[in-house]
């Protein structure tokens, strides 16, 4: 499946500031700032990382508002040209570094706006990850809310039925509920369990680290500010373009995120580790059958995106199978947070 899934989204006018010139700190400054970041990570009690499209560009997946981003090119009447697909894209140094930092006890939670699935396919645990805009490799049962992680992309986006049936075993047999994709279209609400966990962890954070995001999307773009409400709370932004929260940041780093994370690992004495395989629970053919059935079952009134090859593992060699995670079906009584009360996916140009 093409990484330009955005072409299948509904029309939307306000996509934020696009094509803003990139800023590059000199090499010595990057190293010094990266070491400052490493010290902050060491001294913090709850580190939450907020990731955007910029952490996946070195995997060949284009960003949205960079000089060659999807929305930037769209405004010029051009389209993205790349040979990379969601299936062939592999986790970047930054994805691997975040997994290493999590295993070492430094990074506690990730809040991502990306739908490419590279965090999960790098081996990062689902229980410590909120994917606010969905995942191209995840489908969710509309009946029991079970999630299934696939090794092939879902054939639809916008929380539509994929054509698959839930195989979760219950006390009185199999669920048999209909599965839906988890990727948001413009008008869709954020997934409640992921959003609530994102808000809870953002409120606990004494260090918010933003990697590869212009923070233009709300409510995701405002969550990092929660750390500043903590005593000695800090906000670090690493991005090539300016963001709307730069003036509030404790530290700004303008360079490629992979370079920063390499310096951080070196400073902390941690080695870059290879991606890990996800745990799997069903046979290879099940993913292929799920994809084929989905393409046949989608009503013609619902837009579809073309499905990619189901025989190519992505992001570190995920097995041809799926594994289920359960998420609550209803919103908890906790408030979603004052900076983002609506829980809607919106873009704001400032």
- If phi > 0 it is left, if psi is from -120 to 50 it is alpha, else beta; for residue 269 that is left
- If phi > 0 it is left, if psi is from -120 to 50 it is alpha, else beta; for residue 159 that is left
CB atoms < 10 A from the CB of 188, how many?
A: 17
Of 72, 59, 60, 81, residue with least CA distance to 22: 72
The residues annotated with a catalytic role in the active site are 133
Residue 155 near residue 171 (C-beta atoms within 8 A): no
Residue 153 near residue 143 (C-beta atoms within 8 A): no
State the DSSP code for 222: G
Using DSSP's 3-state secondary structure scheme, residue 161 falls into strand
Report the first-to-last Cα separation within the chain, whole angstroms: 33
Q: Which residues contact 105 (CB under 8 A, 6 or more apart)?
A: none
């Amino acid at each position: 499946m093409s990484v330009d899934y955005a072409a299948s989204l509904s029309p939307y006018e306000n996509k934020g500031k696009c094509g803003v010139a990139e800023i590059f700190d000199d090499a010595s400054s990057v190293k010094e700032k990266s070491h400052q970041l490493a010290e902050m990570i060491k001294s913090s009690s709850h580190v939450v990382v907020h990731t955007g499209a910029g952490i996946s560009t070195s995997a060949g997946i284009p960003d949205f508002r960079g000089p060659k981003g999807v929305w930037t090119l769209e405004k010029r009447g051009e389209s993205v040209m790349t040979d990379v697909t969601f299936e062939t894209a592999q986790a970047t140094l930054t994805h691997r570094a975040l997994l290493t930092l999590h295993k070492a006890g430094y990074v506690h939670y990730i809040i991502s706006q990306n739908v490419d699935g590279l965090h999960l396919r790098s081996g990062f645990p689902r229980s410590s990850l909120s994917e606010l805009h969905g995942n191209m490799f995840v489908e969710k049962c509309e009946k029991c809310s079970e999630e299934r992680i696939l090794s092939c992309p879902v054939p639809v986006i916008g929380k539509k039925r994929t054509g698959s049936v839930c195989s979760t075993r219950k006390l009185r047999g199999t669920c048999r509920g209909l599965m839906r994709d988890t990727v948001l279209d413009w008008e869709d609400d954020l997934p409640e369990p992921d959003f609530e966990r994102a808000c809870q962890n953002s409120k606990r954070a004494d260090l918010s680290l933003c990697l590869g995001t212009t923070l233009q999307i709300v409510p995701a773009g405002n969550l990092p500010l929660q750390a500043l409400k903590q005593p000695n709370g800090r906000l670090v932004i690493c991005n090539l373009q300016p963001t709307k929260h730069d003036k509030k940041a404790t530290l700004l780093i303008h360079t490629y995120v992979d370079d920063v994370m390499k310096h951080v690992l070196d400073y902390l004495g941690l080695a870059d580790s290879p991606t890990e395989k996800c745990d799997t629970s069903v046979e290879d053919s099940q993913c292929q059958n799920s994809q084929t059935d989905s393409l046949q079952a989608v009503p013609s009134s619902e837009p579809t995106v073309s499905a990619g090859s189901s025989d190519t593992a992505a992001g570190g060699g995920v097995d041809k199978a799926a594994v289920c995670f359960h998420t609550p079906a209803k919103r908890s009584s906790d408030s979603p947070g004052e900076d983002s009360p609506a829980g809607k996916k919106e873009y704001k140009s400032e």
